[in-house]
Amino acid sequence: MRISEILSDGRIHISCEVFPPKKFDGIAQATRVAQEIAGLQPSFMSVTYGASGSTPGHTLAVAKAVRDTGVTPLCHLTCVQSSRSHVQQVLREMQENGLENVLALRGDLPRDGCIQTDFTYASELISFIHSQGSFCVGAACYPEAHPESASRQADMDNLRRKVDAGVDFLTTQMFFDNGLLYNFLYRAQRAGIRVPVCAGIMPICDPKQVARAVKLSGSIMPPRFAAIADRFANAPAAMTQAGIAFATEQIVDLIANGVTNIHLYTMNKPWIARAIMENLSEILRVDT
């Protein structure tokens, strides 16, 4: 099913992200994780694409396993290190396997700055995907602006360009302060962006994740969360419980304020996704 159709029914949707293994011999384990998370019946499941486009086959293998559970898969696809013919080949394989949803991304720039690509920005990939067949195309957006953007306005102008290239839905970078998302949604509305936005929530259950998450997302860590990470740094079970509680509270606040699409960055930990889904069980039954 196309994700644009799933998101158009006005209900609350929780989707989940999984990542494929770096090495081929990890596919069986990643597939088991994906199947376990699919058992929680998320509205759809996204499968990330290895940095620098190194492992497209692994993304498709895990996406096919998701498809076989009956949950709709979403394949991430990056372009910054790719040629048109490579992207064409991945899209063809997706079509042959009934995978119609793509999250079109530029990908992070390589550390050595050496770019060999037919694409500079995700907007070019989005146009190219549409030229290759009938796909439902999503893209990334950044409540706190992409770290390379000169300003929040420049970031929003670029997002508008991306949406105009043919985006059916957006997924946000993780954020830890809902005020940032509400501000972003207001600015997106003013910029004329009308496609559904899935709010990206990352449950942080390991103190080591904190610094990494901040670095990756450029996210502001609220003092309230910093205190949790500090206090429970040496108590893993307590940190897991606190991280789940913090993410649950964020989601409850989002839903209470009318945000209906939530995307959980599961970090391939089914027990964390399950705990959050259980915490929300009654909330997800409430009509929007």
Nearest of 219, 215, 222 to residue 253 by alpha carbon: 222
Q: According to the binding rule CB under 6 A, does residue 58 interact with ligand FAD?
A: no
Phi, psi dihedral angles at 94 (to 5 degrees): -60, -45
Please give the structure tokens belonging to residue 106. 């530029």
- Residue 268 as a binder of ligand FAD (CB under 6 A): the answer is no
By CB under 6 A, tell whether 48 contacts ligand FAD.
yes
Among 101, 117, 123, 248, binds ligand FAD (CB under 6 A): 123
Closest to ligand FAD by CB, 144 or 240: 144
Question: Which residue's entry shows tokens 């293998």?
Answer: 61
Rank residues 58 and 76 by Cβ distance to ligand FAD and give the closer one: 76
SS3 105: strand
Contact flag: residue 279 with ligand FAD (CB under 6 A): no
- How many angstroms separate the CA atoms of 40 and 61, rounded? 20
Indicate whether 15 belongs to the interface with ligand FAD (CB under 6 A).
no
25-33 long-range CB contacts below 8 Å, 24 or more apart? 27/58, 27/61, 27/62, 30/58, 30/62, 30/268, 31/61, 31/62, 31/65, 33/268, 33/270
Asked if residues 6 and 72 have their Cβ atoms less than 8 Å apart, the reply is: yes
Binding mask 75-94 for ligand FAD (x = CB under 6 A): -x-x----------------
Grouping H, G, I as helix, E, B as strand and the rest as coil, residue 222 is: coil
Residue type, 3: I
- Is 17 noted as a catalytic residue in this protein? yes
Among 14, 38, 49, 175, binds ligand FAD (CB under 6 A): 49
Could you say whether residue 108 binds ligand FAD (CB under 6 A)?
A: yes
Q: In the complex, what is the shortest distance from the CB of residue 232 to ligand FAD, in angstroms, rounded to a whole number?
A: 27
Interface with ligand FAD in residues 188-207 (CB under 6 A):
200
Contact string 139-168 vs ligand FAD (x = CB under 6 A): -x-----x-xx-----x--x--xx------
Q: Which of 173, 178, 266, 268 binds ligand FAD (CB under 6 A)?
A: 173
223 burial type by CB count under 10 A (0-12 exposed, 13-18 middle, 19+ buried): exposed
Contact set with ligand FAD (CB under 6 A):
48-49, 51, 76, 78, 105-108, 121-123, 140, 146, 148-149, 155, 158, 161-162, 171, 173, 200
Which residues are catalytically annotated?
Answer: 17
